[in-house]
A and B are shown apart, each in its own frame.
Chain A
Amino acid sequence: MLSVCIIEGSMVSSNVLSGLKMKKNQTKSQFVAVASIAAELSAVMDVAKEISLAAANAKAIAFRAGEKAKGFQPITDFINELAKDTIELVHAINAHALQLYQLTVDEYRMTEAFNKFELAGVLAKGATYESSLRPALLRAQQKMQECLRQFNSHIAQLLDQLGEVMHPARAARVIAANSRIEASQAGEYLQSLQAVAESVDNAAQVIHDNVQRCRSALSFITLTE
């Protein structure tokens, strides 16, 4: 025996649709922000490596300059340590950013599922087993909220870590200023040492700017539960 029926054209309310659209845009921003953080961090890592190289270079020049650059020698160790600290911090932040990316994927999947379940609920209005959807909807909502909670907590932690990277960057600028003073007393090595000071200063500025961009991107995507 054959029979045909059509579910009565259940109209999906414009509120539900505009809510879905807003959420879609938010998720898009999340993915873009997390990807841009990874790109900015990779640039910070490159700059930190440059500082490390500048420190080695400065050490060699200071060694050749001997007495004339005596004040410069301990500064090179500081520069090197700052570079090392920055690299270590960026490694840790990268690992965290990777977790954040995974959470973004999980959160996207859960939100997508929740939205679709909600839509199914609207479309299933009047269906014999409409109410059986409720446990799945609740489960999806709980999972989605848990993902959001974790996501926001990771964002907060990441913001703290990025704040920590700003410290060595600020210290590097102070060191660069001291380096210039010491370089002025290094006679024929003046130009070489001033170039080192310049490159540390520039690098510190680049790190500062990149980290600042990461922080703004992160602040932008903190989600509301």
Chain B
Amino acid sequence: MKMTKIYEGAYQWIMFGRDENKPDNIIDTNQYVVRTANRCLLMEPGGTELFAPMLAAVLHHAPVEEITDLFASHQDPDIISSLGLWDQALPNAKLHAPAIWEGFLRHFGCESIEYVPIPDTGGVIRLDNVELKLIPAHYLHSSGNFHVYDPNAKILMSGDVGAALESPGAPVFVDNFEAHVEKMRYFHQRWMPSNQAKRNWIERVRELDIDIIAPQHGRMFRGDDVRRFLDWFEGLQVGTAV
């Protein structure tokens, strides 16, 4: 499992991904951790297959008892089908996930972990002195969907928005935006259902101060590539399967 620190200040953001032992027939995913003095938030913990390598990787940064919070942007199995296992490992943790998916996500097993439902309007996660904003991203692609924005680190964890279907071992940052576009096009056109939702999201996200957009698949965008991505996404017709 590759680990990349993407912010280091009074706390840290770490990206995990490109697991070499991942079975070939499951999609590669990025996981993100925010590590503060006494707590640790694990975003998009991943599927069952990824649980052991992910837990092992986090143990390089935090002890089990300090992994206090999980976040799932939506209900997909590659995001959170490992929930039942985290539920056994972290009996005192909280799962922040969309309110509308609670009854669905509990199918994965959630007996000990506290489910903190995120209302449609969004919310915040507080970790020690760090406040993370939960930005609504409904219909991008899931009908109940949130992204995590850190105004201090200027990072937007954008779930499936900005995702790309990459070959194994791809770099973690976009280095040639024009070349990267083709790896994103089909994913966004096919998985994102609503142009209206897309425009609404872009409008809100343009008002945020962002250094890094960190999606759940593929590469992260930094610097000017953040604006390039938003411009490209704005011009893209989505929901093309009908």
A in complex with B = yes
Write the residues of chain A forming the contact surface with B, with a CB cutoff of 8 angstroms: 1-7, 9-10, 109-110, 112-113, 116-117, 119-124, 127-130, 132-133, 135-136, 139-140, 143
The answer, among A4, A128, A139, for a CB contact under 8 Å with B3, is: A4
Number of A-B contacts (CB under 8 A): 94
List B contacts of A124 (CB < 8 A).
Answer: 55-57, 59-60
In the complex the two chains form, what is the Cα distance from A117 to B52 in whole Å? 6
Given A6-B3, A129-B64, A140-B89, 18 more pairs with CB closer than 8 A: A3-B8, A4-B3, A7-B3, A7-B57, A9-B20, A109-B88, A109-B109, A110-B88, A113-B84, A116-B55, A116-B85, A123-B57, A124-B56, A129-B63, A133-B64, A135-B64, A135-B65, A136-B64
In the complex the two chains form, what is the Cα distance from A2 to B14 in whole Å? 9
Given contacts A4-B2, A116-B85, contact A129 B60 (CB under 8 A): yes
Q: Does B230 contact A (CB under 8 A)?
A: no
List A contacts of B90 (CB < 8 A).
Answer: 136
Write the residues of chain B forming the contact surface with A, with a CB cutoff of 8 angstroms: 1-6, 8, 20, 48, 51-53, 55-57, 59-65, 84-85, 88-91, 109, 172
In the complex the two chains form, what is the Cα distance from A4 to B53 in whole Å? 17
List B contacts of A132 (CB < 8 A).
Answer: 59, 63-65
Report whether over half of chain B's contact residues are helix, strand or loop; otherwise say mixed. Answer: mixed
In the complex the two chains form, what is the Cα distance from A128 to B35 in whole Å? 14
- B34: min CB distance to chain A, Å: 16
Given contacts A112-B85, A136-B88, contact A7 B64 (CB under 8 A): no
- B211: min CB distance to chain A, Å: 11
In the complex the two chains form, what is the Cα distance from A123 to B62 in whole Å? 15
> Could you write out 26 A-B pairs with CB less than 8 Å apart?
A4-B5, A5-B2, A5-B3, A7-B3, A7-B56, A9-B20, A109-B84, A110-B88, A112-B85, A113-B85, A113-B89, A116-B51, A117-B88, A117-B89, A120-B52, A120-B53, A120-B55, A123-B52, A123-B53, A123-B57, A124-B55, A128-B61, A132-B64, A135-B65, A136-B64, A143-B88
**B56 and A127 within 8 A (CB):** yes
**B59 and A127 within 8 A (CB):** yes
In the complex the two chains form, what is the Cα distance from A124 to B3 in whole Å? 13
List A contacts of B64 (CB < 8 A).
Answer: 129, 132-133, 135-136
List B contacts of A109 (CB < 8 A).
Answer: 84, 88, 109
Identify the closest chain B residue to A140 (Cβ).
B88
Closest 3 CB pairs of A and B: A132-B63, A123-B56, A124-B56
List A contacts of B84 (CB < 8 A).
Answer: 109, 112-113
- A80: min CB distance to chain B, Å: 45
List B contacts of A7 (CB < 8 A).
Answer: 1, 3, 53, 56-57, 60
- A191: min CB distance to chain B, Å: 58
In the complex the two chains form, what is the Cα distance from A78 to B200 in whole Å? 77
The answer, among A116, A129, A140, for a CB contact under 8 Å with B59, is: A129
List B contacts of A5 (CB < 8 A).
Answer: 2-3
**A127 and B52 within 8 A (CB):** no
List A contacts of B55 (CB < 8 A).
Answer: 116-117, 120, 124, 133
In the complex the two chains form, what is the Cα distance from A112 to B89 in whole Å? 12
In the complex the two chains form, what is the Cα distance from A124 to B89 in whole Å? 15
- B68: min CB distance to chain A, Å: 13
| Residue of A1, A109, A120, A140 most packed against chain B (CB within 10 A) | A120
List B contacts of A119 (CB < 8 A).
Answer: 52
**A113 and B3 within 8 A (CB):** no
**A128 and B4 within 8 A (CB):** no
- A74: min CB distance to chain B, Å: 55
In the complex the two chains form, what is the Cα distance from A127 to B16 in whole Å? 15
